Chain A
Amino acid sequence: MRPNEYDNLLKKIKCSDDFRSRMQEKLSAEPSGDAGYEEIVSGEAEVITPGRRWGKFAALAAAFVIIGGAAGGTAYHFSKVNSESKIVTTDDGSIYSALRSEKDDHYMMIGGAHGTENAANLVLCNSASEFFDYMDDHGDKEEIREESAVLGSECIYFRFGRMDQGIDFSYQLPDLTMDQSADYICQIYNNGTYVWSDMSASRVTYHRLKNGEEGYNDLRAMLMKYTIDWAVNSPDANEGLRSLLDEKFNHIDSDYAYYMSGSSDGPVEYKIVNFNTLKADLLKFDWVYPGFVPMTDAVYMLSALNGSEGNYETSCLYISRNGIIRIENGDIMRTCFALENDSDVEAFREILDEHFVLNQYGTDVQDYIILDAFNENYDGKTAKFRKDSGQFTGDTDVTVSDFEGLKNELASLEWVTCEVSDENIYKDFYIAGALISRNGYIYPQSGGTHQCAYRLKFDSSLNRFREILDAHFTENSEETTIYSRLKVDKESYTVDLSDDIKKKDIDKDRLFEYLDNYDMSSEIGTGEFSPSDKKITVFFRKIGEADKEYSYVGANEKYAYKLVIYDTGAFTWTENNNGKENLTMHSFADDGKVYQDILDMFAE
């Protein structure tokens, strides 16, 4: 993808005229005091259950809802709707009355949704009479205008498809393809607004339940009844909980969990210490089925994925600190459990505190995180290292022949996060933005901000880790200072002073003999370095390469090594490796004695 493709796609995204005019109308009106609307706006500050949001739902868009494979394999047998005694004869021209008059020819499916695309996993109901009874009593044939219809954040779908004669409905849910078969759809929102769609006539009408939100809750309970019937076979809640945990959460492949406190910061990443122990501890309490109940306290959530590619189902386990557990499978397969005894809530919370911990450390690290730990350029030559607890002590030549290979091999090991203050981290090597500690740690350094370190997940990997380091790192001896490298091969170089000094003949051996009296290896930092205008520059040029064109920029000298001595006692060594300069800073701490000695020796 090219950045301009990204840009071009996004530039096409603009508010449609319809959306713009609807928004302008809503934003021009006084803020609504409607209960459902209040829920929308309070969602910013009170995020308890994720995914609760305001679906816009142009009703006909329901026709485009993709129905995924429903979870599980429980067969639902459809028995023909038993006609109830109530007869409604009024033909008021409404969609509802049209459906009502031919209800025996339709089956009903029911499902919940949080948004346009999430209306999936509908349940085929064995009777629609309860729904019709309810709507006869609480529905309102009076329409409200579309533009004044405020939709809620959740809705329940009731879909009605025509039964073909002779069809046996005793097939499994995944075989149902509802999109083509729905003749009528009723969407009932949690603020009491409901929408009827007549799919064949492309007609949509908006209404309000006479009992508003209460009506939604009643119908929701209807949905939950089917859900509970579907999900749990055991009449005993503890056994039901056990079976769901065993069935839906036996393939938890990560210890990630989320904690939703209700703050506006959104979910916080937590982790489960041990899911099996958590499960056992949860089952020690006595549970009951409360029907659908809201989770009004902080909630932990974790999920598990079952199935295989193309047919995955997600199960979510929500545990509220007020003693409610909710298990969701897909979008509506939802079962709630509540502590039987309120007196157990405190003990329950203690259990939760024990099993859920802030997910900062000890979690698995993906390989790209390890690769990213080395977030600076590696110059191919030097790395810092230290073996004590002090500050970095100078650069040491380390040869890493294949830096990418080193990273890849390190990333192929299994790592977990750990605290940066872990005392076991020995800061052996600093290379390309990260410390590598020989006892099994990588500690990324990001602009001096230490965030998180990584340690080998298994001690058994330590040998392999060290083999990787030994294979890739060649630590040179401490004698490999610039001066020592020059001295080893001093016969290959000429010595000269800079042009601003009139020179005598320079005795090379005498110079090295003199410098050998001083420490040429201890480096100083820039803070201690005190240059001055008075200086002597000594060039060492490779014999036979005096005319070599060096590629560095900004200098007219051609040299292999350069020594600059200041009258303050400071001095530098520079190594010129085909234009790439390596400079070290030192000090004689002699108040300029060496500077003067060199002048005396070699200058006229």
Chain B
Amino acid sequence: MNDNSALYAFNKFGDMILRAAFAMTGSYPEAEDITQEVFLTLHSKPQDFESDEHMKAWLLRTAINRCKNLRKSARIRRDTPLNEALANTLSCEFTPRDNEIRERIAKLPERYSSVIFLYYYEEYNIREIALILGKSENTVSSLLQRGRKKLKTELEKEGYVYET
């Protein structure tokens, strides 16, 4: 690891952090805000990372903590679809199905969505997730199990089939 700078971190992990924040908030603008905060924090308060993996874990944890704080604000948050203006900036298309999934993700409590993202998308194992989130392996395992159940319940309410 030669470079601990925020710019290096952003170039290497920017998309990943944006994705993590999106997986927890279900909102692109919020994900962008959180990503911005995370890297500007690192820019302002440089950290001494031992490796890229260490850097990645720190970024993920910081992003997840921010998502957590955001969600615990208990404000009424509006579930906006990806609007046209934003979608245009992303150079990709979001299908109606994408929006349905996004809405379900947004409704999933943070404690579940973070674990689901890290496990299924980033493919961390339970032990690694436990280290990132500062929770016990048992807790992570339990959250994963409950999160899947909850997602399944939510989707079934809407008439979808959840396949593991």
Contacts and interface: CB of A to CB of B under 8 A. Distances in A.
Interface in B23-52: 23, 27-37, 39-41, 43-45
A45 to B, nearest CB: 9
B41 A44 contact: yes
Contact of B31 (A2, A3, A13): A13
B14 A20 contact: yes
A267 B72 contact: yes
Contacts of A303: 74
Given A3-B163, A50-B69, A266-B65, A40 B121 contact: no
Q: Most chain-B Cβ atoms within 10 A of its Cβ — which of A16, A265, A451? A: A16
A51 interface: yes
Contact of A40 (B28, B37, B73, B120): B37
A64 interface: yes
Contacts of A55: 33
A511 interface: no
Interface stretch (A109-117, A512-520, A555-563): A109-117
B10 A116 contact: no
Nearest to B138: A446
Interface string A371-383: 0100100000000
Given A1-B101, A368-B146, A116 B75 contact: no
A53 interface: yes
A395 B14 CA distance: 54
A13 B142 contact: no
B56 interface: no
A234 B30 CA distance: 38
- Measured as residues with beta carbon below 8 angstroms from the partner, the interface class of chain A is 35 or more
Nearest to B99: A9
Interface residues of B, number: 76
B107 interface: no
Contacts of A115: 29-30, 33
Nearest to B152: A1
Interface in B110-138: 117, 120-121, 136-138
A330 to B, nearest CB: 7
Contacts of B120: 3, 6-7
Nearest to B84: A64
Interface stretch (A81-89, A95-103, A311-319, A341-349): A311-319
Contacts of B65: 44, 264-266
A43 B69 CA distance: 10
30 contacts: A6-B101, A12-B94, A13-B19, A13-B28, A13-B31, A13-B90, A14-B15, A15-B32, A16-B90, A23-B35, A24-B7, A26-B40, A43-B41, A44-B45, A51-B69, A53-B66, A54-B36, A61-B85, A68-B78, A114-B73, A115-B29, A117-B29, A117-B77, A117-B80, A118-B75, A266-B68, A314-B74, A446-B138, A449-B136, A451-B139
Given A32-B44, A56-B36, A301-B74, 9 more contacts: A1-B104, A5-B97, A43-B41, A60-B85, A115-B29, A117-B29, A267-B69, A313-B76, A331-B76
